[in-house]
Amino acid sequence: MDKELKKRLQITATKVRMGIIEGVYNAKSGHPGGSLSIADTITYLYNHLMNVDPANPKMPDRDRFVLSKGHCAPALYSVLANRGFFPVDELKTLRKSGSRLQGHPVMDKVPGVDMSTGSLGQGISVACGMALSGKVSGDSYRVYAVLGDGEIQEGMVWEAAMFAAHYKLDNLCAILDNNGLQIDGKIDDVMSPNPIDEKFKAFGWNVICIDAHDFDQIEKAFYEAQCKTGQPTVIIQKSAKGKGVSFMENQVGWHGAAPNDEQYATAMSELQATLAELEGK
């Protein structure tokens, strides 16, 4: 990846992480862990790869994004706000009564949100429908969907996996955020979905495995996905839950908990330091 681009994306991803912490801290609830683990990938999609226009969020030929693991809404909201779909300051209203930033994304409230999600396992089916519609109609848009590794315990995910391969939805790219943790503990202990790559291969998908926090690998994976014909692609990204905030990293307790005042201050100062370093200040 171009050095300038990488620096720019790293800076944006850090701001996105600050937005996640800001939102969850103000809401006093929410899901910071899984939001932080997908921050780099969604930042890349909305700030480099996807054809979107904040001034025209319903543009018919836009690329679509479905956050199938809808509880990581803080990440999507922060990416959208930092991309200019709505003011960054609005992130402080997350989960508050009267806010359009609901606990889980709502498509008819928030500009830039392509599908309402929250009930796990459904977003990937919806993404399949978007992809099928585009293929049948000869539209050029591509569809991206982010799944959690706990989420794929839902049987409906595998219905969708079968469907996508059957209809050769090569305009669909799923991103599987493999942070290894879910609410009750390690995915291996709760209900192991492993081996994830072999399962998707068996279902007829093109499988690419990467490090979720390496923009070079992210760029290469999405390029490969775009080039693949006749098969949907899943990018299995090995990630760290809570990535970017030291005390949250790989800690299951941060799946669905908000930082207190002290933790908020620590998290923000860490991210500020990261930002300052990236910006060379």
Binding residues vs other proteins (CB under 8 A) = 60, 64, 66, 106-108, 114-116, 118-119, 122-134, 136-137, 139, 156, 159-160, 162-163, 166-167
User: Based on CB atoms, which residue is closest to other proteins, 124 or 271?
Assistant: 124
The 3-state DSSP class for residue 132 equals helix
Nearest-CA neighbor of 90 among 70, 69, 111, 72?
Answer: 111
Question: Which CB sits closer to other proteins, 113 or 207?
Answer: 113
* Shortest distance (Å) from residue 203 CB to other proteins: 13
Minimum distance, C-beta of residue 128 to other proteins, in the bound complex (Å): 5
What's the alpha-carbon Rg for the chain, to the nearest Å? 18
8 A C-beta contact, residue 41 and residue 238: no
What minimum distance in Å lies between the beta carbon of 244 and other proteins? 30
Tokens 């930042």 locate to: 43
Residue nearer to other proteins on the CB measure, 159 or 211: 159
Cα–Cα distances in Å, from 120 out to 17, 154, 160, 278?
A: 23, 7, 13, 35
Residue placing its CB nearer to other proteins in the complex, 115 or 258: 115
Residue number, 114 or 177, with CB nearest to other proteins: 114
User: What is the C-alpha separation between 134 and 110, in angstroms, rounded?
Assistant: 23
Handedness of CA 218, 169, 200, 191 (dihedral sign): positive
- In whole angstroms, the minimum distance from the beta carbon of 202 to other proteins comes to 17
Closest CB 122 distance from other proteins, rounded Å:
5
SS3 266: helix
Nearer CB in complex with other proteins: 9/145: 145
- As a whole number of angstroms, the distance between CA 194 and CA 198 comes to 8
* Shortest Å distance, C-beta 214 to other proteins: 30
Residues 241, 181 contacting (CB under 8 angstroms)? yes
Alpha carbons 159 and 214: distance in angstroms, whole number? 31
